[in-house]
């Protein structure tokens, strides 16, 4: 069953990459097009979505079976270690995977993930900048996550050979073993199809930093999401929460064969190890339930529906009225300068921005800034001005040298953030 799920994930992932565009402007549009226009696109994406969840479930159940039967003990220590590393890799794949559609869920999940990475002592800022591909969330960061989601996909097949099988027992691979495997595989495949048809893969609205969104990660990260809300695991103590408690828990799980070296394998004869695992699993289920219940209460209090449901309902209404149903950001018509008479336009010229972006903001040596507010928030634009971006140098010192003040530059960033295509 596990291998069938992996086959589904890899094959559907290969199909999805044929249509997916890994940049902020087109990522959402490519996923929406795949889901609404491409034949069987919604089915393929749904199978990939549900396959990702099912593989986590399968690996969790397998981990529990191995732990409570004591199968991780000598001489299978490395089997357990490699298996747990693969489990962590699959969780990482789940995280990088649901980032890719670049809807609101993906955007805010990325922000949280990068801030967590930033808490690592000494290396935090370097790790964060590496994952972003720069000092802000942009296309390079998405490309890194796309590559991460693709490259590690095959890790599920990397398991060390088991040389401890009983040599006296054997069974013909064909047809006995193969038939059993395919029977289970067919059941799993039908199950994925049923889930896909009954509950298609969700897709919210395009990423919008200023949107009022109730953030919610995928179900297998709900426990960590809830845990990081508590005072002792957030704010000034986020390092303790992320690296301290979580690190010790995952480290103990990884090193279980070396911490529990007794010969006894029956779980009821290993009260300490079994009790710790049962308590840990109960804590994960409890935190998951609390997070989900709190999310439902927030939706009820705000009168909102989950974004993907609201988007689907709006799309059906638009379709019934004969209106375009796409939510993808685009610039089908010429984009005009928003608030052209604002004093920030003079700041734009005085700071020397017209040298690269032209007086009409359509771009010369640099890119067009019309509609730049669809791509970057005010804070991100201010960061670009102060620190540069890709090949663009920092312009803050030059602007100050031209007699501009911090207020002028802040207002310029605010004005540029208003340059949106839909206006």
Sequence spans of domains, the chain: 2-160+172-307, 344-417
Q: Report the C-alpha gap between 72 and 81 in whole angstroms.
A: 9
Give the tens place of pLDDT for each residue, 303-339.
888 999 999 988 888 878 777 777 776 544 445 667 7
The pLDDT, as a whole number, for residue 59 is: 93
Q: Which fold has domain 2-160+172-307?
A: Cytochrome Bc1 Complex; Chain C (1.20.810)
CA distance 103 to 32: 10
Which CATH number does the domain 344-417 belong to among 3.40.50.1820, 1.10.940.10, 3.30.70.2200, 1.10.760.10? 1.10.760.10
Six-digit token pair at 293?
Answer: 């219940």
List the chain residues with pLDDT less than 50: 139-144, 150-161, 163, 165, 331-334, 423
28, 210 in Cβ contact below 8 A?
no
What does the H/E/C string look like for the chain? CHHHHHHHHHHHHHHHHCCCCCCCCCHHHHHHHHHHCCCCHHHHHHHHHHHHHHHHHHHHHHHHHHHHCCCCCCCCHHHHHHHHHHHHHHHHHHHHHHHCCCEHHHHHHHHHHHHHHHCCCCCHHHHHHHHHCCCCCCHHHHHHHHHHHHHHHHHHHCCCCCCCCCCCCCCCHHHHHHHHHHHHHHHHHHHHHHHHHHCCCCCCCECCCCCCCCCCCCHHHHHHHHHCCCHHHCHHHHHHHHHHHHHHHHHHHHCHHHHCCCCCCCHHHCHHHHHHHHHHHHHHHHHHHHHHHHHHHHHHHHCCCCHHHHHHHHHHHHHHCCCCCCCCCCCCCCCCCCCCCCCHHHHHHHCCCHHHHCCCCCCCCCCCCCCHHHCCCHHHHHHHHHHCECCECCCHHHHHHCCCCHHHHHHHHHHHHCCCCCC
- pLDDT of 145 reads 55
Q: What pLDDT is attached to residue 158? A: 45
The pLDDT assigned to 422 comes to 52
With contact defined as beta carbons under 8 Å apart, do 355 and 364 qualify? yes
Within 8 A by CB and 6+ apart from 333, the residues are: none
Q: Phi, psi at residue 389, to the nearest 5°?
A: -160, 115
Report whether 292 contacts 222 (CB < 8 A).
yes
Phi, psi of 392 (to 5 degrees): -80, 125
pLDDT for position 169: 64
Location of structure tokens 């479930």:
57
| Token pair belonging to 112 | 């949280």
Q: Which pLDDT score, from 0 to 100, does residue 125 have?
A: 82
Is it true that 2-160+172-307 and 344-417 share their CATH fold?
Answer: no
């Amino acid at each position: 069953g596990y291998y069938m799920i992996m086959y589904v994930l890899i094959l559907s992932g290969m199909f999805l990459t044929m249509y997916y565009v890994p940049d902020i402007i087109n990522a959402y549009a490519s996923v929406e097009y795949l889901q609404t226009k491409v034949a069987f696109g919604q089915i393929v994406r749904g199978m990939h979505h549900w396959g990702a969840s099912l593989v986590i479930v399968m690996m969790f159940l397998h981990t529990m079976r191995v732990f409570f039967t004591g199968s991780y003990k000598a001489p299978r220590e490395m089997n357990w270690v490699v298996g747990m590393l693969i489990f962590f890799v699959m969780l990482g794949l789940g995280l990088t995977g649901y980032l890719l559609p670049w809807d609101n869920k993906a955007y805010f999940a990325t922000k949280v993930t990068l801030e967590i990475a930033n808490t690592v002592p000494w290396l935090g800022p370097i790790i964060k900048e590496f994952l972003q591909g720069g000092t802000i969330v942009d296309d390079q960061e998405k490309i890194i996550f796309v590559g991460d989601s693709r490259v590690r996909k095959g890790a599920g097949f990397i398991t060390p050979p088991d040389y401890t099988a009983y040599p006296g027992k054997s069974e013909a691979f064909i047809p006995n073993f193969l038939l059993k495997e395919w029977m289970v595989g067919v059941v799993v495949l039908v199950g994925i199809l049923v889930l896909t048809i009954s509950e298609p893969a969700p897709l919210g609205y395009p990423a919008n930093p200023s949107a009022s969104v109730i953030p919610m990660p995928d179900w297998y990260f709900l426990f960590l999401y809830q845990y990081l809300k508590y005072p002792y695991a957030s704010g000034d103590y986020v390092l303790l929460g992320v690296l301290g408690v979580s690190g010790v828990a995952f480290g103990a799980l990884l090193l279980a064969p070396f911490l529990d070296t007794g010969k006894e394998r029956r779980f009821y004869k290993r009260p300490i190890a079994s009790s710790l695992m049962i308590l840990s699993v109960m804590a994960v289920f409890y935190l998951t339930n609390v997070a989900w219940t709190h999310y439902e209460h927030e939706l009820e209090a705000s009168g909102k529906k989950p974004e993907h449901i609201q988007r689907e309902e709006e799309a059906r209404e638009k379709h019934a009225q004969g209106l375009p149903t796409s939510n993808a950001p685009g610039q089908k018509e010429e984009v005009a300068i928003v608030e052209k008479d604002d004093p920030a336009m003079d700041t734009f010229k005085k700071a020397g921005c017209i040298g690269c972006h032209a007086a009409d903001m359509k771009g010369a040596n640099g890119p067009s800034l019309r509609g730049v507010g669809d791509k970057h928030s005010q804070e991100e634009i201010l960061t670009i001005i102060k620190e540069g971006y890709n090949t663009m140098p920092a312009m803050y010192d030059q602007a100050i040298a031209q007699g501009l003040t911090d207020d002028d530059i802040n207002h310029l960033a605010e004005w540029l953030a208003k340059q949106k295509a839909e206006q």
